[in-house]
Structure 1
């Protein structure tokens, strides 16, 4: 390895975040994407949750909250908002900040007679799915060497016709930028073919479409304390990692018991207080194909506490091994 490459290896955390993939050392261009460390955004489109929406809360919420929302909506909706927002940056700002995996939860609003689809987390967003996808496409046009992974999952209220409509929209928006399912994807191979988007789709229809990838496994600890989350992940690592893409979600879970015992807090307060310990654990991880390695690391409020540069810097391990 040349002295120039050694300097670049030591400063991956200082790469320009809006174009970090295009600025990676050439030694990493041949590494399969599922062996790189990639920053991700958990429940990415919650910055535009609709405070004034009169629709019922989504049916994934506990029965008690659904009942309270039905009869006490003006009091309950602020509560849903402060615990439902997981990202404050717009999708463009997240991409500018270095995020390359977006966790997209898709819903059709109850009693909506249109085919419009939205994102949701407790309540629904003001922005439609198509609007956000168009924003991603515009960003990609301006960043031709960056690659994003879009995970469509947690579908709520979609029938077969709406799935067909959504897949058609994905194809129309991204067109030739969509990467079909293939055995190995590297930055070099994607750049050579003009592919910038990998779409995973958590539904059985995925097997009928060669341009949609299977659902990307998401390791979720379902814990509200850092020590408990770390314990879950360390136990998972002992059994090895999935062979392809997978996500380690360092997002903590606020259960109803936790929320009731912290009435003046918000999800952001919870994240900010736990981020130093979470990022300390992340710094100790390595990417790659070996036992216990990481691939995509997703979190809440991704602009805080140097989350993105910390994940990108993990790729220095791959450069060390290639020396």
Structure 2
């Protein structure tokens, strides 16, 4: 079989998968790889799917939106009609995202309110309880067909109520995950086949962005030292891709054996949000919501990711920089056309299928 014929077979195979158990489907091809070297799609603010115009504002909301003062309440009243479309980054539930092939979850946790310290998900506005997220992960991994699926669950932002400890605020909600989590004594460079062999249940790399007793809570990794995730804070897609290219052209010392997140998201300009506050349709010529932003920029970001990794040589100067986790808003609304050989043959696929194919072509 020629190389081109072999590649065509892999393309056909990748196109066969539609989410749920794709890691199991290609386990023979990826078994020698650690999770930190696997191409996977992640979601940005993964559990914001329940945010609506009636959602309360969280303590993480910027400026007066996060205050309980009279000025804060007036600002919230004025801003409420449009804030949700800038706070909501996903429309699918966690289970639906996992069924669609997402394998990295970006989770941000705050107490629901000053009086209710139950941990909830928030991105300026409050979404669902953290326990709902945990239960959906447990439900997904309980399915026999998902035996081989591994996840990275990144609790990157935590707001702990004043006077409370992590032990009482966060860990009770995470308890149902305990037996499903890979111990923090396991190296992140461990090949998947060893992860699968050592346990039939442990499939979650749980990463926490605040200090905790890692000897007491061995089922979680400290985020520092486990994940590299650089927020570019740019408003233009071309600027974002240029920053990615600069990363690869001038790599800093790269720590091997850690997860690397390519944050394929733009940061909305304050003017865009204000425009949508003042006008029903807004006057901005760029974007009028996070979903609109994703609809316009996800495909070029994915194409950049494909091109840089499809033809990337084996030089390890950059380690797994921009060749591990691609984090997106609303990935399920994205379809892209990628060239799969030097002859110009192309396919139309989803971001998840793109990553499956990159893994098969490694």
Residue of structure 2 equivalent to 1:291: 317
Contact residue 69 and residue 77 of structure 1 kept, 8 A: no
Structure 1 CA distance for aligned equivalents of residues 35 and 269 of structure 2: 34
Alignment deviations for residues 206-248 of structure 1 (CA, whole Å, 9 cap, x no partner): 5443321121221221111111111112222231544211211
The worse-fitting range, judged by mean Cα deviation, of 279-288 and 218-227 is 279-288
Structure 1, unmatched stretches of 5+, are 319-323
Contact residue 37 and residue 295 of structure 1 kept, 8 A: yes
1:150 to 140, 149, 153: 153
**Alpha-carbon deviation of 1:50?**
5.1
Work out the number of aligned pairs and report it: 314
| Residue aligned with 2:24, SS | coil
Contact residue 44 and residue 91 of structure 1 kept, 8 A: yes
Contact residue 47 and residue 86 of structure 1 kept, 8 A: yes
- Name the CA shift for 1:112/1:291 in 2 (closer, same or farther; >3 Å): farther
**Max Rg structure:** 2
1:279 to 302, 305, 310: 302
Residue of structure 1 equivalent to 2:238: 227
Contact residue 220 and residue 250 of structure 1 kept, 8 A: no
Residue of structure 2 equivalent to 1:254: 268
Structure 2 CA distance for aligned equivalents of residues 86 and 289 of structure 1: 35
- Aligned Cα RMSD in Å? 2.7
| Residue aligned with 2:85, SS | helix
Residue of structure 1 equivalent to 2:104: 101
Structure 1 CA distance for aligned equivalents of residues 8 and 72 of structure 2: 56
2:222 to 214, 220, 233: 214
Structure 1 CA distance for aligned equivalents of residues 181 and 2 of structure 2: 35
**Alpha-carbon deviation of 1:205?**
0.9
Contact residue 263 and residue 327 of structure 2 kept, 8 A: yes
Q: Does 1:190 align with 2:202?
A: no
- Name the CA shift for 1:73/1:207 in 2 (closer, same or farther; >3 Å): same
Residue of structure 2 equivalent to 1:312: 356
**Alpha-carbon deviation of 1:51?**
3.4
Residue of structure 2 equivalent to 1:266: 289
Residue of structure 2 equivalent to 1:239: 251
Structure 2, unmatched stretches of 5+, are 282-287, 335-349
Residue of structure 2 equivalent to 1:51: 53
TM-score (norm 2): 0.78
- Name the CA shift for 1:260/1:201 in 2 (closer, same or farther; >3 Å): same
Q: Which runs of 4+ in 1 moved over 6 A?
A: 1-5
- Name the CA shift for 1:51/1:140 in 2 (closer, same or farther; >3 Å): same
| Residue aligned with 1:204, SS | coil
Residue of structure 1 equivalent to 2:208: 201
Residue of structure 2 equivalent to 1:321: none
TM-score (norm 1): 0.87
Structure 2 CA distance for aligned equivalents of residues 204 and 307 of structure 1: 33
